Amino acid sequence: MFKDAFWLVKMEYKQQWIAVISTFIMCLIVGLFMGTFLSGFTSFHFEVNSTSFDSYFLDFLFLGLAPSFATLSMAKPYLSYRVAKHNPYGKRMAVLRSLPISVSVLALSRTLFMLCTLVIMSFAFFGAMSIIILIFSNNILEWMTIGDYVIFVFVWFGFMLTIGGLNPYVEYGMKGKMLHFIPFIYMGFVIIIEIIFFTFFNQSVIEAILQLIKSYGFIVAIVSILIGIVSCYEWNKILKRRLEKRDYI
């Protein structure tokens, strides 16, 4: 089953190589921007100045962009509502469903494609961000050790894994126009989370994570990755059930 699923993933990358390169470049640019921002982030300090605009901005960047690393966010359906409303992913799945391929393989291939994409794009993002921080920053390493930073990266990768598992379901289990509606719903949840943290905890999500890292170390990263793995497994099961029931005629 894995062999067939990986074959589908390979074919998907061949067909969408332009979107792969474009998304990779976008992730590099975002990583460079984030690294530059953190390198000059003199107004942010751990456990102080927690209600600053910079704290809000950082949270919105990390939380808001998380799902985009687990898909080809520079593909045409994501860039154009006109293209998305014609449901290109659904039509592609309709063709695949007409072939002698089991639903389990199709669902697994979508999940594996998401995982591979997340690894590639996360490498571009965190790699670019880390290079800028390590070369140019004299500030961030004053309140975060290199070990803490590595844990921080793994924690966010786990979060991206958790949220990213939704992408295959949105692409192949919903109508095409939902590609442009779901991000607004997601950002609504991000705003609610921000309000809760700043109202009840008087700190940003980033600061809360850093506190956990300083208190519990790599355990935080392990928990985050495990949650991401379980979430991917559950999203895969949900997608499989949806593919079995969806009418592509």
Give the pLDDT mean for 141-159: 86
Query: Which tens digits make up the pLDDT trace of 201-239?
Result: 788 888 888 889 989 999 999 999 999 999 999 999 999
How many domains, the chain? 1
Query: Which tens digits make up the pLDDT trace of 171-206?
Result: 998 888 899 999 999 999 998 988 888 888 788 888
Give the pLDDT mean for 84-99: 88
- Kindly state whether residue 181 falls inside one of the protein's structural domains: yes
What was the pLDDT predicted at 140?
66
3-state secondary structure labels for all residues of the chain = CHHHHHHHHHHHHHHCHHHHHHHHHHHHHHHHHHHHHHHCCCCCECCECCCCHHHHHHHHHHHHHHHHHHCCCCCHHHHCHHHHCCCHHHHHHHHHHCCCCCHHHHHHHHHHHHHHHHHHHHHHHHHHHHHHHHHHCCCHHHHCCHHHHHHHHHHHHHHHHHHHCHHHHHHHHCCCCHHHHHHHHHHHHHHHHHHHHHHHHCCCHHHHHHHHHHHHCHHHHHHHHHHHHHHHHHHHHHHHHHHHHCCCC
- Kindly state whether residue 68 falls inside one of the protein's structural domains: yes
- Kindly state whether residue 215 falls inside one of the protein's structural domains: yes
What was the pLDDT predicted at 142?
67
- Kindly state whether residue 22 falls inside one of the protein's structural domains: no
Q: Give CA–CA dist 13/60, Å, rounded.
A: 30
Query: Which tens digits make up the pLDDT trace of 54-83?
Result: 677 788 888 888 889 999 999 999 999 999
Could you list the residue range(s) of the whole structural domain that residue 98 is in?
2-16+56-119+140-245
- Kindly state whether residue 66 falls inside one of the protein's structural domains: yes
Please say if the pLDDT value at position 44 is more than 50: no
What percent of the chain stands above pLDDT 70? 90
- Kindly state whether residue 103 falls inside one of the protein's structural domains: yes
- Kindly state whether residue 60 falls inside one of the protein's structural domains: yes
Residue pair 170/75 in contact (Cβ under 8 Å)? The answer is no
- Kindly state whether residue 173 falls inside one of the protein's structural domains: yes
Report the Cα 83 to chain-centroid distance in Å.
Answer: 22
